[in-house]
Structure 1
């Protein structure tokens, strides 16, 4: 089978496509013919040895996928050969086949195509866990989404609206903000042209926002923290800007606000039953059309490095998906 391989740590252009042996499975594993695998920001980190998970070389990046079951281990009974499934693997998905632990494989919802399914679980799972669980976002509260035109940003807009929040989307260009409005944002901030803290105060009548969803990091974090309301919550999702911020903690003291970490991967491992309940809610909303994953580009396996570069450079809107069988 073909796989996009990281044989030495480095940028996406160092990745190569090679033929390797098909993966073997144990009694608790599922082998999947990968039809689509979404690109996520951690993929750009793991190939440069900058991610908390550090696989041995060589390996294939790619943490979430959708495909068709081709084999199951003796202890697996919730999926069968021929089933359409979604899997989240941390790495290994950018290949024609993957072996995944059965507890990380779930049946694909009816009526959803492979590309959409591959771009759903990690992005929307992270975001629902962040907003509903970690921030306890309530109907009528205000939500500021940074990097709002990206995959998790658009998910935050949609889930925020589903939870009844007033959503303010912040992004760096009018083209990106137009996509945010299409996905339900009530108001927008172009932080390429406006001072973020001032714009937050303007959009909230001086009160500040109740919840900040921050997958960006860098200078935007402190500006957003300064724009939070009393008892506000700033959600630390990631650092797409490449800079881990160090905001002054006296701001949290003065505002009585919280800085809340969100690590969905660890949540899935530690609280699997809670994760299953959250995914059930998400799949219900997906079936109702309240969630609409936005895939802006698809790439064949041979151009997988380009797909990672596009996402890592923050030029992509929504999700980018690799199709290993093309």
Structure 2
């Protein structure tokens, strides 16, 4: 381990074991914590921002001036995608299920919003983009929203498959990417971090620099004690969380 020294304050990424007093972390997923960052922020930062930055930069090649649609935009990775999309020069449309969630998205820079519990997702995408469609769709939700969003994608658009928070893995009619010459692009940040540690470290340094400069501000919905972990997980399952939850040991 060359990039860290004994005594450094760090944060890391583990696939399991996060609710423990002590944990061993692979060196290529362990990072020096900014002196300006407290531990609750550090614990909630990398999965959300690391995933979203890798998705937008490395997988979608998001370009300045393009339109980015973010599904589940008030969640941890979704809100990070809204914030990073704006920082990268995109026009951002945030889609979520309540007005309260959409208000938070606007505070984080969303140019336009869609309440997909009340509005037709495809129609609203078309309306907000003057019928052009979204260049990049960031989808951590899955379920019924994936196909509806893809039907509103732009020519040569990219759908980022980030996760399935709805609990349902969607099936896509493959004539849709054919008709729009569009791409369905998988995003697995954890595996990317292990396979390409050098590029992941570069991405992490960029994100930490932006944090130090005040250009990204992670949103923590609530902090829980370790004994309250079941309640925190229920909040996530019941879709009551905006941003991230933190467990303090």
TM bin, normalised by shorter chain, reads over 0.9
Unaligned runs of 5+ in 2: none
Match of 2:39 in 1: 114
Match of 2:155 in 1: 230
1:254 to 179, 204, 213: 179
Match of 1:45 in 2: none
Matched, 1:126 2:51: yes
Match of 1:145 in 2: 70
- Structure 1 residue 101, shift from structure 2 partner: 2.6
Cα pair distance change 1:77/1:208, threshold 3 Å: closer
- Structure 1 residue 79, shift from structure 2 partner: 2.9
Which deviations, in whole Å up to 9, do the C-alpha atoms of 1:167-217 show, x marking residues without a partner? 000000000000000101000001111000000011001110100000000
Unaligned runs of 5+ in 1: 1-75
1:311 to 214, 222, 236: 236
Is the 2:29–2:194 contact (alpha carbons within 8 Å) kept by the matching residues of 1?
no
SS in 2 for 1:157: helix
Distance in 2 separating the partners of 1:256 and 1:102: 40
- Structure 1 residue 141, shift from structure 2 partner: 0.2
2:91 to 142, 153, 166: 166
SS in 2 for 1:284: helix
- Structure 1 residue 224, shift from structure 2 partner: 0.5
TM-score normalised per structure 1: 0.75
Distance in 1 separating the partners of 2:183 and 2:27: 36
Distance in 2 separating the partners of 1:208 and 1:88: 35
- Structure 1 residue 80, shift from structure 2 partner: 3.5
Distance in 2 separating the partners of 1:150 and 1:320: 10
Is the 2:29–2:193 contact (alpha carbons within 8 Å) kept by the matching residues of 1?
no
Is the 2:49–2:207 contact (alpha carbons within 8 Å) kept by the matching residues of 1?
yes
SS in 2 for 1:180: helix
Which deviations, in whole Å up to 9, do the C-alpha atoms of 1:105-135 show, x marking residues without a partner? 2110121110011111111011011001100
Q: Which is richer in helix?
A: 2
Q: How does 1:293-308 map to 2 (within 5 A)?
A: 293-308=218-233
Distance in 2 separating the partners of 1:121 and 1:298: 17
Which deviations, in whole Å up to 9, do the C-alpha atoms of 1:250-292 show, x marking residues without a partner? 0000000000000001101111111011111111111111111
The alignment of Structure 1 onto Structure 2 pairs a total of residues equal to 249
Match of 1:29 in 2: none
Is the 2:94–2:112 contact (alpha carbons within 8 Å) kept by the matching residues of 1?
yes
Distance in 2 separating the partners of 1:132 and 1:151: 18
Larger Rg: 1
Q: How does 1:70-81 map to 2 (within 5 A)?
A: 76-81=1-6
SS in 2 for 1:275: helix
Which deviations, in whole Å up to 9, do the C-alpha atoms of 1:279-311 show, x marking residues without a partner? 111111111111110001111010111111211
- Structure 1 residue 316, shift from structure 2 partner: 0.3
Match of 1:100 in 2: 25
Is the 2:54–2:203 contact (alpha carbons within 8 Å) kept by the matching residues of 1?
yes
Distance in 2 separating the partners of 1:116 and 1:301: 16
- Structure 1 residue 77, shift from structure 2 partner: 4.9
Distance in 1 separating the partners of 2:244 and 2:175: 36
Match of 2:113 in 1: 188
